[in-house]
């Protein structure tokens, strides 16, 4: 790891406390599964909850899951993908997250829905977690590679962990091109999201993600534009925050306003400065 990457990783560890907030907060503005990434809206009448189920089915389809696979979810959040893949596809699912409260929540939920023997979580950062090479059929990163300072190392590590024929799914928000990245990376709104919400992060153009995957030795299977889906997801999150602001403030004073500002900044950028893509890759050799 380069010194710059090490410094950034320390910043992630020091400042990224957002995901370790009280899980009740996330239940007040996310869907019932607490999935904290773009849904997939297949009709005008889809609710947020339905859109998130659609998205998990979409991920399973892109990965080519047939049942019983060994899956690693990097940045597993509140476990929506782990629990879904374990229950619906019989996967043995392993999640990685640095946030302690997420592990407690996932452990409890896996017992509640009867998949505790198929779901495991590891506390830490992907770059530092000890995992055996060639042991997974699928690796997923939904909104997590943005927090990894060394993009090349992240893709190479994912490839090392996959068996031959295994798939990597990455969905991420990106600046729409290199010029937009250069212009807006240090703008006040971008800095607010980093300083007040997520800590270190870098919305790289999708061309950098593609290059990182190809340089790591992956073959690209698909690239999907989910920008409109994320815009609608955030609209639904904003509606929930506004409806439940008093309860959010009771748990964490000042948070409802910060969340609302973060999400408004995100929605203002879609299609103008930022996009959201899903990239699927295969380890063919």
The string of DSSP codes covering 168-217 is EEEEEEEESSHHHHHHHTTSHHHHHHIIIIISS-----HHHHHHHHHHTT
* Residue among 97, 71, 103 nearest 85 (CA): 71
pLDDT for 1: 41
CA distance 130 to 242: 41
Q: Specify which residues 168 forms β-bridges with.
A: 139, 281
Helix (H, G, I), strand (E, B) or coil at 78: coil
Burial class (CB in 10 A: 0-12, 13-18, 19+), 37: buried
Spans in the chain with pLDDT lower than 70: 1-16, 193-199
Structure tokens at 251: 């748990």
pLDDT for 194: 66
pLDDT for 254: 95
pLDDT for 278: 98
CA distance 250 to 149: 35
pLDDT for 4: 45
pLDDT for 15: 43
pLDDT for 277: 97
Q: What letter would DSSP give residue 35?
A: -
pLDDT for 18: 81
Angle between helices 48-63 and 227-243 (to 10 degrees): 150
pTM of the prediction? 0.91
Give me the domain span that covers residue 19.
3-282
Structural domain tally of the chain?
A: 1
CATH of the domain at 181: 3.40.50.150
pLDDT for 35: 98
């Amino acid at each position: 790891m380069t010194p710059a990457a090490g410094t950034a990783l320390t910043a992630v560890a020091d400042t990224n406390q957002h995901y370790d907030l009280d899980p009740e907060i996330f239940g007040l503005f996310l869907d019932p599964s607490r999935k904290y990434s773009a849904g997939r809206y297949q009709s005008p009448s889809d609710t947020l909850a339905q859109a998130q189920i659609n998205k998990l089915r979409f991920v399973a389809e892109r990965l080519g899951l047939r049942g019983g696979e060994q899956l690693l979810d990097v940045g597993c959040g509140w476990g929506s993908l782990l629990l879904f893949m374990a229950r619906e596809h019989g996967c043995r699912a392993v999640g990685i997250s640095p946030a302690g409260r997420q592990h407690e929540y996932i452990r409890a939920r896996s017992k509640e829905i009867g998949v505790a023997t198929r779901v495991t979580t590891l506390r830490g950062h992907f770059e530092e977690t000890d995992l055996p090479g060639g042991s997974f059929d699928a690796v997923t990163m939904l909104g997590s590679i943005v927090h990894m300072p060394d993009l090349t190392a992240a893709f190479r590590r994912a490839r090392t962990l996959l068996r031959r024929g295994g798939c990597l799914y990455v969905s991420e928000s990106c600046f729409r091109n290199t010029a937009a990245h250069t212009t807006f990376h240090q703008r006040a709104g971008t800095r607010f999201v980093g300083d007040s919400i997520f800590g270190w992060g870098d919305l790289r153009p999708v061309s950098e993600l593609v290059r990182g995957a190809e340089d790591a030795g992956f073959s690209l299977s698909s690239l999907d534009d989910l920008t409109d889906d994320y815009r609608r997801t955030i609209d639904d999150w904003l509606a929930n925050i506004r409806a439940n602001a008093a309860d959010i403030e009771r748990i964490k004073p000042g948070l409802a306003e910060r969340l609302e500002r973060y999400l408004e900044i995100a929605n203002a950028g879609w299609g103008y400065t930022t996009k959201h893509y899903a990239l699927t890759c295969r380890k063919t050799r």
